[in-house]
Amino acid sequence: MRAPVLAVEELTKIYRLTDWRAAKKEIRATDGITFQLYRGQTLSIVGESGSGKSSLAKQLVGIEPPTSGRILINNQDLAKVARKERRKAFQKIRMVFQNPHSSLNPHARIGATLEEPLKINSKLDSKQRRELVAEVLKKVGLRAEHTQRFPHMFSGGQQQRIAIARALILDPEVIVADEPLSALDVSVQAQILNLLMRLQEELELSYVFISHDLGVVEHISDQVLVMYRGQMMEYGEVDQIFDAPKHPYTRKLLSSTPSYRNTVKILKKTHTREFKDKAAVSSGCPFAARCPYAKQQCIESRPEVHNIDGQLVSCHWPLESNAEG
Ligand SMILES: Nc1ncnc2c1ncn2[C@@H]1O[C@H](COP(=O)(O)OP(=O)(O)O)[C@@H](O)[C@H]1O
Ligand code: SF4
Ligand SMILES: [Mg+2]
């Protein structure tokens, strides 16, 4: 069997906060996330705001250390890499942020921004660095003379192209893109998406793609992982998730998207206030307070993961493909 380029095992990030009453609070931003990403493929992460997508992205690229769990690139455990090899290991996995404007240094010319990772991580001399920068700028649809300009002299779409060039400059295998289109004008979103798709094909890149645009996710993904409150709710091939979602939360997400509203229906059963209150603080299923199918067992115990033809569903009672409300 082919090996994944990126394997994530039980990735957990706990933030421990102390509020103004000196009460201790624990936030599990990611809670036992596991997935595998293969060469040249796209895994999309979806879930509403606060579900832990950005936290996951930051752990993948080394911005934040996980509390527990493992990240393996080409079977190499990133936590076990010797200190001096660490930078090299993280060259293989780079990030593109949501907002190119704030992710680029406003005081540095584009050439300097793109050369900086090369100065730190390569032995290239300045002529070689400039040549490589020109080559990568061309790949993202910009020109060598753009190196002399500052970020504010570019449009939002061009700035995101520069951010993509910066992610590519060290020849990575995996790009983690956290909502890379959502800060851009609708008119340029398709251009940047097409650029990402073309680069994936040309360079055999693998993408972890975070987005709330389910139309885009369905269009570009091989696999989809649905998160809620830090946990994996459902994970499978894109067709499994969109054609036959088996987790109530996935159905809810799809049913709130206009293009799926007519095909995916969800029960509107409401629970008593007392049930909802108990569910909200339970250590059972995180979705219990909002789930129309919730029963007492959902409050009492965390669901095991069901594997249905490779589609993983974290629910006590995975839905039938044709279940409707
Ligand atoms: N640095 C941090 N300190 C404390 N809590 C954080 C921090 N970063 C994220 N969180 C919390 O972790 C949860 C997941 O956040 P995030 O990963 O940004 O979600 P998403 O990207 O899906 O909107 C949220 O409850 C958020 O408030
Ligand atoms: S475990 Fe229960 S509450 Fe959670 S999604 Fe399944 S049916 Fe709903
Ligand atoms: Mg986010």
With a 6 Å cutoff on the Cβ, whether 29 touches ligand 1 is yes
For 248-282, what is each residue's pLDDT tens digit?
Answer: 999 999 988 776 655 666 556 678 889 888 988 88
- Domain regions of the chain by residue span: 1-83+173-182+203-243, 246-314
Q: Is 248 helix (H, G, I), strand (E, B) or coil?
A: helix
Q: Is 228 helix (H, G, I), strand (E, B) or coil?
A: strand
Q: How far is CA 49 from the centre of its chain?
A: 12
Asked if pLDDT for residue 246 goes beyond 60, the answer is yes
Task: Give the atom of ligand 2 at the shortest distance from the alpha carbon of 318.
Answer: 6
CATH 3.40.50.300 fits 1-83+173-182+203-243, yes or no: yes
Tokens of 210: 């975070």
Neighbours of 212 (CB within 10 A): 15
pTM of the model: 0.94
Average pLDDT (282-294) is 94
Say how many residues make up the chain.
325
* pLDDT value of position 325: 41
Instruction: State percent of the chain over pLDDT 70.
Output: 94
For 12-29, what is each residue's pLDDT tens digit?
Answer: 999 998 777 767 789 999
- Does residue 285 contact residue 315 with C-beta atoms inside 8 Å? yes
State which of 45, 51, 55, 67 you would mutate to test the pocket of ligand 1, scoring each by most atoms of that ligand within 8 A of its C-beta: 55
Task: Give the atom of ligand 2 at the shortest distance from the alpha carbon of 288.
Answer: 3
Instruction: Kindly list the distances between the CA atom of residue 297 and the CA atoms of 91, 137, 195, 292, 318, in Å, as whole numbers in the listed order.
Output: 45, 55, 47, 14, 14
- What span, in angstroms and rounded, lies between the C-alpha atoms of 255 and 262? 8
- Does residue 151 contact residue 143 with C-beta atoms inside 8 Å? no
For 22-68, what is each residue's pLDDT tens digit?
Answer: 677 899 999 999 999 999 999 999 999 999 999 999 999 999 999 99
Name the least confident of 15-19, 155-159, 203-207.
Answer: 15-19
**Ligand 1 center to 54 CA (angstroms):** 7
For 85-127, what is each residue's pLDDT tens digit?
Answer: 888 889 999 999 999 989 999 999 999 999 999 999 999 999 9
Pick the ligand that lies closest to the CA of residue 30. 1
With a 6 Å cutoff on the Cβ, whether 317 touches ligand 2 is yes
Query: How confident is the prediction for the chain on average, in pLDDT?
Result: 93
Identity of the residue numbered 98: Q
**Ligand 3 center to 13 CA (angstroms):** 14
